[in-house]
A and B are shown apart, each in its own frame.
Chain A
Amino acid sequence: MQRRLQNINYLDFVLWFIRVSIIVFVAWGTIATLLDNPYSADVWVNFTVLGLAQGSMYALIAIGYTLVYGVLFMINFAHGEFFMSGIMTATVFIAGPLSASGYLNNHPVISLLLILVVSMITSVGVAILTERVAYRPLRKAPRLVPLITALGASTFLQYTFRGLFGSEVKPFPQVEALSGKISFLGTEILQTQMVVIIATVIMLVGLYLFVMRTKTGKAIRAVAEDKDVAALMGIDVDRTIAITFALGASMAGAAGVLYALVFRQVHFYMGFLPGLKAFTAAVLGGIGSIPGAAVGGLFLGIFESVGPPLFLDGLNVPAYHQLKDVITFTLLVLVLIFRPQGIVGERLAEKKA
Chain B
Amino acid sequence: MPMLEVNNIHTYYGNIHALKGITLTVEEGEIVTLIGANGAGKTTTLRTISALLRPRQGNVLFEGEDISKIPAHQMIYQGVAMVPEGRGIFARLSVSENLDMGAYSRKDTQNLGKDLDRVFTLFPRLKERRSQVAGTLSGGEQQMLAIGRAMMSHPRLLLLDEPSMGLAPVLVEAIFDTVAAINKEGTTVLLVEQNATMALSVANRGYVLQTGEIVLSDSAQNLSKNEMVQKAYLGME
Contact = CB atoms under 8 A, between A and B. Distances in A.
Given A233-B101, A233-B104, A234-B104, A221 B72 contact: no
A234 B92 contact: no
B72 A218 contact: no
22 contacts: A215-B100, A218-B100, A218-B101, A219-B104, A221-B93, A222-B93, A225-B90, A225-B92, A225-B93, A226-B88, A228-B72, A232-B73, A232-B75, A232-B82, A232-B88, A233-B76, A233-B105, A233-B153, A234-B73, A234-B75, A234-B153, A235-B73
A235 B84 CA distance: 15
Interface of A: 215, 218-219, 221-222, 225-226, 228-237
Of A228, A231, A232, most B-chain CB atoms within 10 Å: A232
Interface string B82-109: 1010001011110001001110110000
A222 B104 CA distance: 11
B44 interface: no
Interface in B127-175: 149, 153
B194 interface: no
Nearest to B50: A232
A238 B78 CA distance: 20
Given A218-B101, A219-B101, A226-B88, A231 B73 contact: yes
B104 A235 contact: yes
A225 B90 CA distance: 6
Contacts of A226: 88, 90
B152 to A, nearest CB: 9
A105 to B, nearest CB: 47
Contacts of B104: 215, 219, 233-235
A275 B115 CA distance: 46
Nearest to A213: B97
B158 to A, nearest CB: 12
B105 A234 contact: yes
Contacts of A218: 93, 97, 100-101
A228 B105 CA distance: 15
B14 to A, nearest CB: 12
A232 B93 contact: no
B228 to A, nearest CB: 34
A226 to B, nearest CB: 6
